[in-house]
Amino acid sequence: MIVLWIFLGLLGLLFLLTLFSVTVFFSFEEEACLTIRYLFFRFPILPVKEEEKKEPPVKKQGPAKPVPAKKQEKKAPFKDILKEKGLKGFIKILQEAAKLLSTSLRKLARHIRVHVFSLEIAVSTDDAAETAIRYGKICSVVYPAASFLLSSTRSKEYTVDIRPDFDRDSSRIRAEAVLKIRVLFLLLIGISLFFKGLGLIKRHGIASYFTGNPNPGQPKKQTHSAEQ
């Protein structure tokens, strides 16, 4: 009975942990900065720290080492699928995979909470006329894209400011975003995508191309010893 209570307590603790949110901090001005935080843990992703390169120690010349055997060529499952299914069948698989992924992303976006979103673009070139033309092109792309992306999420407030700057020679971009999503939704959508992906692979019979046996239907050749 005690073991059962301990097991239920662990399950409850794990479920409680999934109710907390993962927070993503992103900013860009001169370089991109990306940090992911969960509870008290912070994981800096960008910028990537460059490791100091150490000079390799000088090795003493010794007897020549034997030349290693050539490594086996890496398998290319997508190339094998294209060869087996043909272009039409391969494109059909890609379309179903893209539809499955886009559906999962839309579900995921509905659970993303945008606490901060700020995008500032100052369009500048050497020529005033070129600046005005480029400003119009950027506005026609950025404003609809930002509106579409933010309408798919739960956003509190956002700022998108694009303006021409005729006093400078180069454009400037400044962006900042803070996103949150609960771990529970990440797990549920990830598990659903995993099993639906397995169904897609099984439905088209392409699992063998990823497991190393591209011709599962062909019988194996059997060798018989000569009867004495």
Question: In this predicted model, what pLDDT tens digit does every residue of 124-166 receive, in sequence order?
Answer: 988 888 889 999 999 999 999 888 888 888 887 789 999 998 8
How far, in Å, are 52, 58, 129 from residue 55 at the CA level?
Answer: 10, 9, 52
* 3-state secondary structure (DSSP) of residue 43: strand
The pTM of this model reads 0.70
pLDDT range class, residue 5, cuts 50, 70, 90: confident
Q: Considering only residues 153 and 204, tell me which one the structure prediction assigns the higher pLDDT.
A: 153
Distances (CA, A) of 216 to 77, 135, 176: 14, 57, 51
- What local confidence, expressed as pLDDT, does residue 68 receive? 57
**Tell me: the pLDDT tens digits for 7-50?**
888 999 998 999 999 999 999 988 889 999 998 899 998 887 76
| 45 against 51, higher pLDDT | 45
DSSP state of 20: S
Q: What are the tens digits of pLDDT across the range 101-113?
A: 888 988 999 999 9
Which of residues 79 and 72 earns the better pLDDT score?
A: 79
Confidence band, pLDDT 50/70/90 cuts, at residue 227: very low
Query: What stretches of 39-158 adopt beta strand conformation (E)?
Result: 41-46, 113-123, 154-155
For the chain, give the number of residues.
228
* pLDDT of the residue at 140: 92
